[in-house]
Structure 1
Amino acid sequence: MYKKQTDKGMESKGSLKSVMVEIISYLYVLLFVYAAVSKILDFENFQVQLGQSPLLSAFAVGVAWLVPGIELLIAIALIIPKFRSIGLLAALSLMTMFTAYIFIMLHFSSFVPCSCGGILEKMSWNVHLAFNVVFVILAVVAIVLDYKKTGRAIFFPVRSIPITLIASTVIVIFLFLSSEDIMQHENPFIRRYPQHPVTFRKSIDLKFNSYYFAGSSDDKIYLGNFTDPLHLLEVDTILQHRKQIKMNLNGYNKHYKMVKMVVKGDWFYLMDGSAPFILKGSIKDWKITKEFKDCPYFSIAQPLDHDLIAFRANRGRKAIHILGVFNSNSIPKVTYNHKLLQQQIDGVFDTDGILLSDEKQKKMVYLYYYRNEFIVADKKANLLSRGKTIDTISKAQIKIAFLKDRGERKMSAPPLIVNESAVMCQNLLFVQSKIPGRFEPEKLWKQAEIIDVYDINRKAYLMSFAIYKNRDKKLQYFYVTPTHLYALISNELFAYDLKQIIKKEMKDR
């Protein structure tokens, strides 16, 4: 009698274990089938979300196909009793990967993207993490109960469980580190759009659309005017107050054609490379105190230091572009570096671009218009590095016509513009790109201008964000300070606050 009662008790316990294993197995089946079907039905969006993932961006295409397939295979294995042990171990592995993915993203990633979709889209990432941990625990319980009931396991569960947990976590860590390195230095043209790296603050009407950004100093930004080159508009950083500033040449009688004004820190510069002349003064009284004697002809120029100017000129029989520096206090005053700009077609149009500088970095940066490359040089015009923008246009796609009777060269077809404009702020290079990346909807490019951010010191791509158009009007110029981004769109000036995700990447040196 006692033996029969014992057998019944053991059968009852075994039955309870079976029921618990089946309940947990079918919970996983429900979860994985729902998740896989959701991904398949909205596959394009799922692939885009993976492309934005800080951990899986570089592997988005492969993972997008692999994950729902694995989820369905595990669900099938859990339904068939013969393969349930393997299915439970595979479920534990996959759920551990999902859990490690969210944990790394929340604690070690540079930004957190949008959610995964489906019913889990309504969860915050922290709730999603807790949800995954619960399912990891359920899988562990089911594996142990299944082994005690059937004796089936790939390894003894005491060994198989920690091995599975550790191996799955290591795989995710490896993917994270590999993806980060690929995205920053070998980007497969997948942009990262973190949530709200810049937020709109305010806009003001300037009445005219002929303004450009001359520079900034402390809590002021300065706008030059193409139609009135000796006037500056001073605006405070939050666009509350503005003031007109009139330049007086004070006896420096110059015949100017294309004067550009630049404000760098406590100094302002009036420059015209067609004259040529460069004048300098203090923003305290806006009086010119110095003329840079014997400066060369130049097409564009940027101050690198108080008495040091980086410039681009045209030299030689074919008048190809060349970069150099002008130092008013040295002999010789002009230093050229013929190796900085690399000719692909004609040495003029194919090397056309944007010259930038930062007074704190004391570096010049030259960004090509028609190819995915920028050059970083020091204040003596020595090459420091060459970096790549994330698009794939490595050779300028332009056609040149030579007019022999006039001795001119012209574009014979509209060029493919890769980088339309750019701004330097400390170590960060902000580039307005014209080339859509992978997984980017056409609608986004119709509604906004895309800005890519690079760290010139690490030659690394960091992130991208959109500046939305105002009533379909095009972005003309933008400017970045350590705290704000400003945009000129038609006759309006827009101010945006930089969020911590960008600020933390800025370094003075």
Structure 2
Amino acid sequence: MKKIADSIPTLTAYFFVLLFCYAGISKVLDFENFQVQIAQSPLLSAFAGFTSYSVIAAELIIVSFLLVPRLRTIGLYASMGIMTAFTIYIYLILNYSDFVPCSCGGILEKMGWTEHLIFNIICVLLSLAAVIIIERQTGTAKLKYILSSAAVIVSSSILVIILFLQSEHIIKKENNFTRKFLPNFLMEAGKKSLNHTDYYFAGTDAENLYLGRRGTPLILTEIDHKLKNMTTTKISLDHSDHPFKSLQIKVRAPYLYLYDGTVPVIYRGHLKDSIARTISKGDAYFSQLAVKDSSDFILRTQDSRTHQYTIARLKIAQKSTTTLFPSILEKQIDGIFDCDGMLIENQQHREEFIYVYFYRNQFIIIGNDLPKVKRQSSIDSIFKAQVKITRLSNGTNIMNAPPVRVNLNAAFYGNHIYNVSGLPGKFEPARLRKGRKAVDIYRTDKGEYIGSFYLPAQKIDDVIVTRHGLYLISGKELLSYQFRKSL
């Protein structure tokens, strides 16, 4: 019996040699996949680069210690430490993570998380037993090896907890463009074929979506949220003798609005009425419009003095007023191309809006306290617009090279921004993206990044989020998706 007990340290050492060789070599052979999976870990994603290399190195170094008899004790302590770290990691995944990610290579691919937690605990106990036996064989004081074992276990546990807390802070507040993907976040709920490719979302109400068409701007299409019933309405204008270039329609129930912006005219009509009447004429030229209420609008316009884009507010009353807020859009290069973006309405909170820059990692939350706004950065690292501008002899500016498009589109619902990103993040190989676009979710009340998911469709023409889920126009298809997990 004593011989069996004396052989436990050696047998344990060989067991860990096989375990770590298998785990380390399997990670090396499929390193890209291992690094991607670490990047998607809710605990370690911020340290994916460092962790992916250090784990492999640690496993192989421990193997070398275990194979040398005079270093075997150190190797067993190290085995105890790394297995304790893996155990705490899995415990945190199962109990404190927003989601349970994919496996990370090696034996993890053959076991479930709970089974691997049990396996790790057994490995910790086995290494502890081996350490106790080998320390007794060498005559080490009992108190010394007890304190040493406790120090290894406690320090390994604290290290993983610190990494977890730091990773959460970095990912949500100081992200280095490492996405945390929410697995199986979208569930397809419906699909509707469209007869043209120029549809866009005009708005929504409690039960319906409203679509406009660029080719036939006076046609409003109404479709229920289950994408079953579709009807169209032709809108008549009380005055239509204007040189419109791109007439658009917007719905903020119970009203609909038509506008162009190159012509300073805004029409308003009731959704139950097919006639839209002029409510503003000659008050402001603008390029984008968002509706606060039936007589109050947020505009993106150009300052006549600086010729730069600026946010403005148009109030229509007995005497209409237009107020410019030049401090909201921040000039970096020319104040036009570098400030280009999208003005988007909150589909739940009617008096809140965002302005999402196309070419930099920032969006602006606009409320009632103009010119006071809240600025929030996206996880992309491009803080300055990468656009090259050439000024022509006639005074106009043109872009002389394709810009780097950071943000493609966005939707705003409640306290969440769903931003369609134009760029891949770290550890996102093309074979995983497959040409699809990533949507990054942000909380505006806490100013933090929540997570990401891929849109199933490759072509993204327009996107909107309602209380029923996410809706997407892709070519001649209208797609609806529900979220599997509430945010």
TM class by smaller structure: over 0.9
Q: Pick one of 387, 394, 398 that aligns with 1:398.
A: 387
Q: CA deviation at 1:254?
A: 6.1
* 2:475 partner letter: S
Q: CA deviation at 1:488?
A: 1.2
Q: In 2, are the aligned partners of 1:188 and 1:390 still within 8 Å (CA)?
A: yes
Q: Does 1:481 align with 2:481?
A: no
Deviates more, 1:298-307 or 1:326-335: 326-335
CA distance in 2, matches of 1:144, 1:330: 88
CA distance in 1, matches of 2:457, 2:219: 28
3-state DSSP class of the match of 1:495?
strand
3-state DSSP class of the match of 2:23?
helix
The alpha-carbon distance between structure 1 residues 144 and 281, as it changes in their structure 2 partners (threshold 3 A), is farther
Write out aligned runs for 1:76-475 (5 A): 76-152=64-140, 156-249=144-237, 251=238, 255=242, 256-284=244-272, 288=276, 291-292=279-280, 295-328=283-316, 333-358=321-346, 360-361=348-349, 362-405=351-394, 407-469=395-457, 474-475=459-460
Q: Pick one of 473, 490, 496 that aligns with 2:481.
A: 496
* 2:455 partner letter: I
1:275-302 C-alpha deviation (Å, 9 max, x unpaired): 2233334435566588257642211011
Deviates more, 1:161-170 or 1:227-236: 161-170
Q: In 2, are the aligned partners of 1:326 and 1:335 still within 8 Å (CA)?
A: yes
Number of residues paired by the alignment? 485
Write out aligned runs for 1:7-46 (5 A): 12-13=1-2, 15-46=3-34
* 1:386 partner letter: R
Q: In 1, are the aligned partners of 2:347 and 2:465 still within 8 Å (CA)?
A: no
3-state DSSP class of the match of 1:480?
strand
Among all aligned residue pairs of Structure 1 and Structure 2, give the percentage whose two residues are the same amino acid: 37
Q: In 2, are the aligned partners of 1:17 and 1:146 still within 8 Å (CA)?
A: no
Q: CA deviation at 1:223?
A: 0.9
3-state DSSP class of the match of 1:194?
coil
What TM-score, normalized by structure 1, do the two folds share?
0.88
What is the root-mean-square deviation in Å for CA atoms of aligned residues? 2.4
Q: In 2, are the aligned partners of 1:17 and 1:149 still within 8 Å (CA)?
A: no
Structure 1: gaps spanning 5 or more residues: 1-11, 505-509
CA distance in 1, matches of 2:133, 2:318: 82
CA distance in 2, matches of 1:297, 1:163: 70
CA distance in 2, matches of 1:464, 1:228: 35
CA distance in 1, matches of 2:383, 2:303: 25
* 2:471 partner letter: Y
Q: In 1, are the aligned partners of 2:470 and 2:481 still within 8 Å (CA)?
A: yes
Deviates more, 1:339-348 or 1:383-392: 383-392
The alpha-carbon distance between structure 1 residues 332 and 280, as it changes in their structure 2 partners (threshold 3 A), is closer
Q: CA deviation at 1:166?
A: 2.3
CA distance in 1, matches of 2:125, 2:278: 74
Deviates more, 1:428-437 or 1:145-154: 145-154
Q: CA deviation at 1:323?
A: 0.5
1:139-169 C-alpha deviation (Å, 9 max, x unpaired): 2222233333333379634333333322211
Deviates more, 1:323-332 or 1:449-458: 323-332
Q: CA deviation at 1:97?
A: 0.8
1:338-358 C-alpha deviation (Å, 9 max, x unpaired): 111111221111111111121
* 1:464 partner letter: S
CA distance in 2, matches of 1:398, 1:452: 23
Q: CA deviation at 1:115?
A: 0.6
CA distance in 2, matches of 1:128, 1:295: 67
The alpha-carbon distance between structure 1 residues 418 and 135, as it changes in their structure 2 partners (threshold 3 A), is same
Partner of 1:64: 52
Q: In 1, are the aligned partners of 2:188 and 2:481 still within 8 Å (CA)?
A: yes
Q: In 1, are the aligned partners of 2:347 and 2:413 still within 8 Å (CA)?
A: no
Deviates more, 1:298-307 or 1:30-39: 298-307
Partner of 1:8: none
What TM-score, normalized by structure 2, do the two folds share?
0.92
Q: CA deviation at 1:329?
A: 5.2
1:366-420 C-alpha deviation (Å, 9 max, x unpaired): 1111111212222242333222222222222222233334x43322222222212
The alpha-carbon distance between structure 1 residues 282 and 138, as it changes in their structure 2 partners (threshold 3 A), is farther
The alpha-carbon distance between structure 1 residues 292 and 122, as it changes in their structure 2 partners (threshold 3 A), is farther
CA distance in 2, matches of 1:323, 1:384: 11
